[in-house]
Structure 1
Amino acid sequence: MNENNFTQIRKNLFIILSIFIIGCNPKSKEKEALLTLQENSYPNQKLPLFFQQLIKNHQANFHRLDSADYSEFVKRHGLDQENQENRKTFYTLKILHLLFTSKNATNKSRGEIISIPYFWHWVTPNPRYEIIYKETNEKLSQVKTPKNFSKYKSYADIDRIPSLFLADLVSETPKYNHPLLGDFKTFGWCSEREMAFICLLKTLNIEGKVVTKGNHSWSECIVRFKKDQIYESFKVRIDNTFDQMKWEKATITSIKQVLTKKNDGMGGWYNTTALSKREFTKVNQLIVTPKASKYIENQMVTYLKNKNGQQ
């Protein structure tokens, strides 16, 4: 083999290798260009309006990033994939779920967008006793409860009802710290997450309930999607502990079950609390400041960039 032939072979191998590398690179410019990831600003506004605006600003990004679930859902049920009302309903629930969920029922488990750690409650030893209340730098078990929670021994013992869970979530700065987690704004186990989730959905005119079986709770909601010129009802089971969503066509029986079924244990209290006029009013009146909204917006953009393979 002469030198010219050897040189040509090397050039051909280099070209083939370059094509292979470019084709396999998950951070290609084509993929990065799919999302619009500028950080949005928000005015001083009530909590439901903030979440509506947050979802509106990022719905298209979530769809472009991963539309497989939505496409499979509408195709399976013969729904209009391009209908904007259908997309809004689907992604409202999906995005809120991703904001609220942890990954499993273990202490300190968190989701991927906002750090909302899972902590067991009413067990010995109680892991919440190790949480630090940043304002006083004391363990939460040493902090006195506010007057409206006076029946509890300490701040760590409180059952975190929606108005507390969500007020902490939209506070301007994190209130809590844990040696293994750093700072975080709010926390809760399954029932607390689902109560807050269902109460928030109520302020957005989405009907649902907390469902409790055994020692676990999740949310079930009834929503409508447009098919041709009519609307069809669907039930969605959302588990904000184990990061799961399951959709199914709703029947008259399944709708009635969601709205009226009896729950195990404390399940009745969870719904009485989450759907109470008092909690609805408190949550509906919570104000999200520009500083608080910027924190959540930044977490959302970081999540989308990471999922898209961008730095």
Structure 2
Amino acid sequence: MKPVRILIMTFVVALGGIGAGLYWWQQQSDLPEGFSRANGRIEAERVDVALKFGGRIAEVLADEGQMVAAGDIIAQIESTELEAQIRAAEASTRQAEQELAQAKALVAQREGEVTLAKAELKRTETLFTRGYAAGEKLDQRRSQEITAVAALNTARAQVAAAEAAIEASEARVAALKANLADYTLIAPRSGRVQYRLAQPGEVLAAGGKVISLLDLTDVYMDVYLPTDDAGRLRFGAEARLILDAAPQYVIPAYVTFVASEAQFTPKYVETESEREKLMFRVKLQIPVEILSRYQDVVKTGVPGVAIIRVSPEAVWPDTLAVKLP
């Protein structure tokens, strides 16, 4: 009985292969002139959220599969040391402000000394011309005036130095606070969490990835077309996508990219004999307005078939009319 069972199973498998081949041949022969068919997989733009500065993960607020909105907090890095640096910089700012106040008070004092020195010099000069003051006294008054002016200039320089110290300290505080903001990781765009790459307590270096997001408003399929079809293709050309998981639906798409150089087709797309030929990569983008309606069901990695209109004059057959749930 066992050989008979094996023979029956072999016959069923062979019959299935023949049926699949006939179906593929029929699909190819039914394709009108001006259209091209290719296989591909649904992909979405991936965004990796990483650390700008190395540190320990305090908490991760997003789980795999969760939808997040742009600006949502998805992770937090421990920032105790940085917060202490900010407090020290703010204290330096306050100290510089006190030094500025002292320097300004000293300037006022030096200005009074200069005024007094000038007045005494003027009186001594008057007395000297009348013969009531000695020349030595006049020289002393002149020296006092020079010393007072020099002291005033020094005090004014101290004011400028204190102002510069305040500016530098405030800049340091601003820089540290900007760095502190980077210790809170936010979602750069809306999407679904694909991978959670780090857990609380882990220490990551700068550039370490914490969350991987999929932007479900930027979904596309990469396909590969032979030279003849790629050469006739225009940017913005219409396409239709039929996914293996939902063959009853026809999804609209359009061409947004055509490779400038030919390349080999990836193994998962075509047969080995076809991989020996050079093909051009073509990106088919699904419209954002459609993606926004079906974000809950959009999945990446789903294989399917793309039909691209390579000739602008070609008319879409009724079997390829857009059909959505």
TM-score, with length taken from structure 1:
0.24
Q: Which has the larger radius of gyration?
A: 2
Q: Give the alignment's TM-score, normalised by structure 2.
A: 0.23
Higher relative contact order (CA 8 A, sep 6+): 2
